[in-house]
Structure 1
Amino acid sequence: MNRPILIGITGGTGSGKSTVAKSIFKSLPKKNILIIEQDSYYKEQSDLSLEERKKTNYDHPFAFDNDLLIKHLKDLLNGKIIQKPIYDFAIHNRKKETITVEPRDIIILEGILILENKDLRDLLDIKIFVDTDSDVRIIRRIIRDINQRGRNLNSVIDQYLTTVRPAHMQFIEPSKKYADIIIPEGGYNKVAVDLMVTKIKSIIENKDNNL
């Protein structure tokens, strides 16, 4: 009962998985919960030029340093502090700085490909897939990448057609079968989020009662 509970939240780009994760996070005491973003674990690419890094398929499983992610998750589950990478989307590479992360009772792992990888799946206690229509997801991605990641409309659309959508169909959509819970219209499904918060609170209470 003292082991942290690891919850995986996944779904296609723009599905609302980050919103679901943040909604759960905000509903619980900060001393009990933390979020680990799979995006922080894109591979370090200092050996490549900026133009070469721009051509990387960031929606493919090979883009992620899952070995480091799995090691860090295991460390957190064993009560150890980690140094989480910081990924800079403007330069398509990791920063030199890291973030110190301490273990918590509830760990949320959020990312597009966390159910695609069996080693990651096997670590998860609860697996959630956020399922949102593709037209909504592409609009959300356009808004996010332009406003938050310094991209232009043409580059976002080109990336979606050449890598994002094919990767979604090949890797993300099939991983839905591994989910314990599927949340439709993620980010706006308050009922589903409230149910998850209630479940997590009960887990925390049970852990506290068994200390």
Structure 2
Amino acid sequence: MVNALNHTQSTSSKIKTKKMYVSTPINRVQEVETRLNKIFKEELDSEGSILVSYKPEVVSKLARFILGHVNRSASIGIAGETASGKSTITLDIIDTIKSFATEFEIEDAITRVNTDDYYYDRSEMVKKAGSFAEFAKNYDLDVPHALELELMSKHIKELLAGKSVYLPKYDMSGTAKRYDNYTLANPSKIVISEGLFTLTDKIKDAFDFKIYVDVRSHVQKERFYVRAKERDLGDSADGIYKNASQKAEIYIRPCKAEADIVLSGEAVRARYKAFLNKLICIVQQENFRNKEI
């Protein structure tokens, strides 16, 4: 998915910011675009497809990364409503890329920047309220300004520039505590993020590839209540779901129009990995082709 993945051997864990590339003939660019278009169209037209839609320009952009026309790492942002399947899809993407990287001894293949870790620290407010439940009655977490998205954008851009970054960690257990400078993230070939607000205005420009995970409302609602039961939300589940749906209408669903690719959150999981492996196959082929030049 990115030119750096074309290097099946790595002599350093650091990203080199300056590289020389052989100019790519126009017919070769067109050839890669044709192969990519075929993969996308066949998937879109197939039964049970993972694709809902995609913008034609994403194919050209992907081809440029694969052929080394973009001299840096790639960033992927994945957004969608709660219980849409975005986290599962993200983990499958990471797992697939890491498997490929392990097989071909590629170092620093992919780094995840978790959007949820950028919630503002509200631990003192929780203490004053007496509990997270009481705190949440007067504080809305389902809005983008509950997160420090400017900091997240800064961290992603620094990683893309080849810099190591200390990422925050947000405690999801009910303390609303954020630990800054918690995890050291090194630059990698791909930076990936997912979250409710990953494609909202303050962060969307940090991503080369914008993905929205779509799901039918009744499926999403059913998933939400299964999760609510697992988390023992009890009678509060109805209010939480209502608020999340209202805020999604304002802040999340409009992001679908920003997406380069709209994925179905209801497809069989194996289909996502199979599709990504087809794209990785083109990366492999171009790598071997470069070695022959």
TM bucket (normalised to shorter chain) is 0.7 to 0.9
Residues of 1 paired with 2:245 and 2:213: CA distance? 16
- The TM-score, its normalising length taken from structure 1, stands at 0.84
Contact 1:45 1:53 in 2 (8 A): no
CA displacement at 1:189 relative to structure 2? 5.2
Residues of 1 paired with 2:155 and 2:285: CA distance? 26
Residue 22 of structure 1: which of 67, 75, 91 is its match? Answer: 91
Residues of 2 paired with 1:85 and 1:142: CA distance? 29
Secondary structure in 2 matching 1:153: coil
Q: Are 1:35 and 2:112 counterparts?
A: yes
CA displacement at 1:192 relative to structure 2? 4.4
Count of residues in correspondence between the two structures: 206
Instruction: Give RMSD over aligned pairs.
Output: 2.6
Contact 2:119 2:178 in 1 (8 A): no
- The TM-score, its normalising length taken from structure 2, stands at 0.63
Larger Rg: 2
- Identical amino acids, percent of aligned pairs: 29
| Most deviating of 6-15 and 199-208 | 199-208
Contact 2:93 2:273 in 1 (8 A): yes
Residues of 1 paired with 2:195 and 2:271: CA distance? 22
Secondary structure in 2 matching 1:13: coil
CA displacement at 1:43 relative to structure 2? 0.8
CA displacement at 1:28 relative to structure 2? 1.3
Q: Which has the higher strand share?
A: 1
CA displacement at 1:155 relative to structure 2? 1.8
| Most deviating of 27-36 and 49-58 | 49-58
Instruction: Identify the residue that residue 127 of structure 1 maps to in structure 2.
Output: 210
Instruction: Identify the residue that residue 54 of structure 1 maps to in structure 2.
Output: 136
Deviation string for 1:47-103 (max 9, x for gaps)? Answer: 413436323211111111112111111111111122221111222413436122112
Counterpart residue identity of residue 157, structure 1: D
CA displacement at 1:142 relative to structure 2? 3.0
Residues of 1 paired with 2:287 and 2:77: CA distance? 19
Gaps of 5+ in 1: none
Residues of 1 paired with 2:97 and 2:174: CA distance? 34
| Most deviating of 70-79 and 85-94 | 85-94
Instruction: Identify the residue that residue 199 of structure 2 maps to in structure 1.
Output: 115
Secondary structure in 1 matching 2:163: coil
| Larger RCO (CA within 8 A; separation ≥ 6) | 1
Residues of 2 paired with 1:9 and 1:37: CA distance? 11
Deviation string for 1:6-34 (max 9, x for gaps)? Answer: 01111110000011100011111263012
Residues of 2 paired with 1:197 and 1:59: CA distance? 34
